[in-house]
């Protein structure tokens, strides 16, 4: 439109009446264009403001989610918030990066906390697995000795209490460890019954 205006000025003049008529038409088109442009940018600014408010609300929801204790629940909320974020338009070039950094910072905090938690759980499960293997080794020794004194019987019985104290070794190991341990104890007590008969 600016180039056309420059071309208009460079064209020179027609007769006064024709010139005024053409100028009125050209000016009307230009005025409409600038009115449309003004309306467009006003709408765009309003849209940016709405999107900024919406994204700030999503950031607050992400912060609230990070105060929860269930990683599964937080994960579901974060995924939902991220989908909403992607559907929310721009908040304007001057706001977009700052808003994204705040929102993504909450997401990263969640992922970091979750990863640290599961890493700690893996370490805990590894420690518990080792402790339960040690209890199994003690049970095997008792079975191999097959001594049925009161002290030995109490020792074998106490292994169950130790087992419970150790806690869960994780679903990858717990069932297999328990089966091995329980089988050993069952054999010991079967042997005890034969011994007493």
Q: How far apart are CA 99 and CA 80, in angstroms?
A: 17
Query: Does the pTM of the predicted model rise above 0.85?
Result: no
> What tens digit of pLDDT does each residue of 155-179 get?
999 999 999 999 999 988 999 999 9
Q: Which residue has the higher pLDDT, 39 or 70?
A: 70
**Whether pLDDT at 182 is above 90:** yes
Query: What percentage of the chain has pLDDT greater than the value 70?
Result: 99
Q: How many CA atoms lie within 13 A of 109 on its CB side?
A: 15
Domain spans in the chain, listed from the N-terminal domain onward:
2-91, 124-196
Residue-wise pLDDT tens digits, 123-140: 999 999 999 999 999 999
Does the pLDDT value for residue 43 go beyond 80? no
């Amino acid at each position: 439109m600016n180039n056309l205006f420059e071309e208009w000025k460079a064209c020179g003049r027609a007769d006064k009446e024709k010139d005024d008529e053409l100028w009125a038409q050209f000016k009307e088109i230009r005025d409409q264009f600038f009115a449309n442009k003004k309306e467009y940018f006003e709408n765009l600014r309003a849209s940016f403001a709405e999107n900024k408010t919406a994204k700030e609300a999503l950031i607050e929801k992400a912060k609230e989610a990070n105060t929860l204790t269930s990683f599964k629940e937080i994960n579901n909320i974060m995924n939902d918030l991220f989908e909403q974020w992607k559907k929310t338009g721009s908040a304007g070039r001057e706001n977009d990066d700052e808003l994204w950094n705040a929102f993504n910072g909450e997401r990263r905090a969640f992922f970091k906390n979750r990863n640290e938690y599961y890493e700690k759980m893996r370490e805990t499960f590894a420690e518990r697995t080792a402790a339960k293997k040690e209890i199994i080794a003690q049970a095997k020794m008792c079975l191999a000795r097959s001594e049925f004194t009161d002290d030995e019987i109490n020792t074998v019985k106490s292994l169950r209490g130790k087992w419970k104290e150790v806690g869960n070794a994780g679903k990858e190991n717990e069932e297999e460890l328990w089966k091995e341990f329980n089988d050993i104890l069952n054999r010991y007590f079967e042997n005890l019954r034969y011994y007493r008969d």
